[in-house]
Chains A and B, each alone.
Chain A
Amino acid sequence: MTRAEFLKSVDEILELAPGTLQGPEKLEDFPLWDSTAMISFMALADSNNQTKLAPRAMGACETVEDLLRLAKVE
């Protein structure tokens, strides 16, 4: 999965219009970034990038970019 496809999937998880997220956005600014969204992102990384994400490490992410880095999205 490319970076653009990943971002589009995160748009969907956060119920945003496709193309909204670019990377520098702060997660705390999205009210829908909750435990359900975290699970959806974990499933996304597991399915498409074969990356298992530790919830604690996800909790430490401040921006969308941090999440992509954790999921090893190029």
Chain B
Amino acid sequence: MHASLAAIEYYLPERTVSTADLAREFPEWSAAKIETKTGIGCRHIAAPDECSSDLAVAAAQKLFAAGSARPEDIDYVVLCTQSPDHFLPTTACLVQNRLGIPTSAGALDINLGCSGYIYGLGLAEGLIATGQARSVLLLTAETYSKFMNERDRSVRTVFGDAAAATLLKAVHTQEPLMGPFIYGTDGAGGPNLVVPAGGMRQPRGPASAVEVADDQGNVRSQDDLYMNGPEIFNFTLSAVPESVERLLQKAGVALEDIDLFVFHQANRYMLEHLRKRLRIAPEKFYFALENCGNTVSSTIPIALKKASLEGVLKPGSRAMLVGFGVGYSWGAMILRPSEIA
């Protein structure tokens, strides 16, 4: 038995922040410059009382409403988030209850960011291939906006909130439909994309809430998300081409054998540079961040859904998915899609 990616749905919060809105807030940056650098025209932002579980439940309910599965069919929930409702209990457990998924189902959270979807699919394939589960609901949900300082344009121009629900079903096939997988980790990059305070290492308090402006005028405190853009770019220049090469070798295929490349949608400038460096043809490289921004672990499933609806991702084709970011953590895999609902 192997896992087949049977359906994807995603949910975007109602409130939006357009590039024009941001240009008004940060007059030193024109809307045109923000769009050129990020490729993002609009980001969706969760309401103050809207948490990751709410977004995940909304995405899963869309999937159930579309008839792809019923809650009672699910026997395992994997939920990827770095902005959980609580330290404990596990967000996946709360979501199991709200969705009416049987209490006989397994449920766990994984704490990963932009690589999370690859790791989630890897876990789902493992659970199904070893007979531990037959229908895995993989949820990715983030509300990074709750970590962002209103006066930090370096992150506000890039990130948006979202959730995606992916259904993985057991199917009888000789060859896996997902894989091979490759993974990578380098915790030395942890300080370059971080929310310093709020955990046990540095609890939140008056000292952590003190706001400081950096030399570019971005304001943030230790309670807020910090991203060192140049260091993250430097990391991707090393990790992504190496991952693509390692995966091609493991799969025993050439770059030309891949029909579609779906990378984590970090920002358009970075992706376009990687595409050119890897010599990937533009028509084989998918972009899907204009209307939602960088939604962390949900960028790849959102892109897959859009590519499937547009007929760019065809059943039986060979797609390469690459996730990379916070941690540092990265992963890549080959997907042989069936008909994605």
Contact = CB atoms under 8 A, between A and B. Distances in A.
Interface stretch (B7-15, B194-202, B233-241, B282-290): B233-241
Contact of A43 (B28, B216, B231, B273): B273
Contacts of B276: 47
B234 A52 contact: yes
Contact of A46 (B28, B154, B237, B269): B237
B216 A35 contact: yes
A54 B238 CA distance: 11
Interface string B274-297: 001100000000000000000000
A21 interface: no
Given A35-B154, A35-B230, A42-B237, A47 B28 contact: no
Interface size range of chain A in the complex: 10 to 19
A36 B37 contact: yes
Contact of A39 (B216, B269, B277): B269
Contact of B273 (A46, A55, A58): A46
Contacts of A24: none
B137 to A, nearest CB: 37
Contacts of A31: 28
Contacts of A39: 229-230, 233, 269-270
Contacts of B229: 35-36, 38-39
B228 interface: yes
Contact of B234 (A34, A40, A47, A54): A54
Contact of A34 (B216, B228, B237, B270): B216
A53 interface: yes
14 contacts: A35-B230, A36-B37, A36-B229, A38-B230, A39-B233, A40-B269, A42-B233, A43-B273, A46-B273, A46-B277, A47-B273, A52-B237, A52-B238, A58-B230
